């Protein structure tokens, strides 16, 4: 699991790559109903404040980046919440929610024709 500083650095790098000032990003966040000060964005980019899923989603849209590109492959919600010392019941509920989200994303990809199954050779042809 990456730490908050790695995520913060990726957010800052994406903003700088787009040549947006922090003030410009804060203004664009307002379009998504997120009222954030420039100072708060600075704290997020410096790893001094955590970021909510809603804020992160809006930032990714503004910066034109895929939210998945910010995380390592093994990062997931369950690991994130475990590190925050939530109860085991809460962790179990988060795990169920995460599984539901993964299924919905998979179904959306199928619906949009984005899912391309890999065709494997029949087992008898592999030998």
Structural domain boundaries in the chain: 1-72, 76-117
Average pLDDT over all residues of the chain? 81
Supply angle C-alpha 60, 86, 67, rounded to 5: 10
Structurally, at CATH architecture level, domain 1-72 sits in: Orthogonal Bundle (1.10)
Task: Tell me, yes or no, if the pTM score tops 0.75.
Answer: no
The string of pLDDT tens digits covering residues 10-64 is 899 999 999 999 999 999 999 999 999 999 999 999 988 888 888 988 999 999 9
Do 43 and 5 touch, CB atoms closer than 8 A?
no
Q: Which residue has the higher pLDDT, 37 or 71?
A: 37
- Which pLDDT band holds residue 2 (cuts at 50, 70, 90)? very low
User: What is the full DSSP assignment across 29-85?
Assistant: HHTTT----HHHHHHHHTTSS---HHHHHHHHHHHT--GGGGS-TT--HHHHHHTTT
Angle between helices 4-17 and 53-63 (to 10 degrees): 30
């Amino acid at each position: 699991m990456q730490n908050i500083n790695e995520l913060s650095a990726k957010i800052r790098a994406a903003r700088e790559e787009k040549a947006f000032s922090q003030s410009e990003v804060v203004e664009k966040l307002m379009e998504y109903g997120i009222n954030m000060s420039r100072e708060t964005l600075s704290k997020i980019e410096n790893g001094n404040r955590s970021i909510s899923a809603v804020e992160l989603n809006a930032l990714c849209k503004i910066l034109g980046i895929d939210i998945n590109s910010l995380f390592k492959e093994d990062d997931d919600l369950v690991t994130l919440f475990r590190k925050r010392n939530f109860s085991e019941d809460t962790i179990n509920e988060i795990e169920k929610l995460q599984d539901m989200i993964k299924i919905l994303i998979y179904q959306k990809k199928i619906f949009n024709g984005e899912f391309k199954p890999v065709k494997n050779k029949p087992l008898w042809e592999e030998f």
